[in-house]
Amino acid sequence: DGGITQSPKYLFRKEGQNVTLSCEQNLNHDAMYWYRQDPGQGLRLIYYSQIVNDFQKGDIAEGYSVSREKKESFPLTVTSAQKNPTAFYLCASSPRGRENNEQFFGPGTRLTVL
Amino acid sequence: AQSVTQLDSQVPVFEEAPVELRCNYSSSVSVYLFWYVQYPNQGLQLLLKYLSGSTLVKGINGFEAEFNKSQTSFHLRKPSVHISDTAEYFCAVFGQGAQKLVFGQGTRLTINP
């Protein structure tokens, strides 16, 4: 079955620690995205990548970093510089960075900072 | 730049009643419009999308939406809702030449028996 997987589903972190969220897709999609979701605020774009070895900042990139070494993988690191990291994180992909293509979403990772 | 406003943060309705979730957008260029549904603690699933052509778009689970260019709206409707429709619904817009999808704040649909 093709799809997007995110792991882990739940993640707990102590303040001051970096943590990496995994996102893998086997849909052969070129473009991948990371969103942050907070109650009542919809989805906000953190980073996106339209091709391997290239990525762009979204609206709230501060305190986050990404890499795109493989087409299938787009991991997100939440650094200690992110002051309020507790949130639900969603990864998505699309066949290409074209505007009329649907974005397919993973099941999400809920990060809680203790 | 594009923006999306979902006019209701919460919509409670009774089972088998009709429902309309409202979405307005702002853009200086032509747009592509999407509605997504999110069940609790899950990712988003596409309900329907408007790219071009007929302004009435039919999606999954009996939902439909109508693109109204003059009113810059893309309201989502269902003639008879079920308990299983309880979820959060997101409207999103992609402007021609843009590089990202812009989401509204979401509308939480609650179905009461």
What mean pLDDT do residues B7-11 have?
95
Residue A61 at interface with chain B, using a CB cutoff of 8 Å: no
Contacts of A18 (CB under 8 A, 6+ apart): A77, A78, A79, A80
CB contact under 8 A, B43 and A106: yes
Site of tokens 């609790």: B40
- pLDDT over threshold 90, residue A99: no
pLDDT score of B109: 97
Mean pLDDT across B53-68: 94
Of B98, B99, B106, the CB nearest to A42: B106
pLDDT of residue B41: 83
How does the average pLDDT of chain B come out, rounded? 93
Which residues 6+ apart lie within 8 Å of B15 measured at CB? Answer: B81, B82, B83, B111, B112, B113
**Confidence bin at B100 (pLDDT 50/70/90):** confident
Chain A interface mutation, best of B9, B44, B94, highest count of A Cβ atoms under 10 Å: B44
In the block, which residue shows the tokens 């949130």?
A87
Given a cut of 90, is residue A1 above it in pLDDT? no
Contact in structure between A92 and A102 (CB atoms under 8 Å): no
- Band the pLDDT of B98: cuts 50, 70, 90: confident
Residue of A nearest to B39 (CA): A107
% of chain A exceeding 70 in pLDDT: 95
Nearest alpha-carbon partner for B79 in B18, B22, B20: B18
Q: Which two tokens stand for residue B4?
A: 């999306």
Q: Tell me, what's the pLDDT at A42?
A: 85
How high is the pLDDT of residue A95? 86
Residue B30 has pLDDT above 90, yes or no: no
Asked if A56 reaches chain B (Cβ–Cβ under 8 Å), the answer is yes
pLDDT digits (tens, 9 = 90+) for A20-62: 999 999 999 999 999 999 987 889 999 999 999 999 999 999 9
Alpha carbon A27 to its chain's center: 16
Residue of B42, B46, B98 lying closest to A108 (CB–CB): B42
CA angle A97, A98, A101 (to 5 degrees): 105
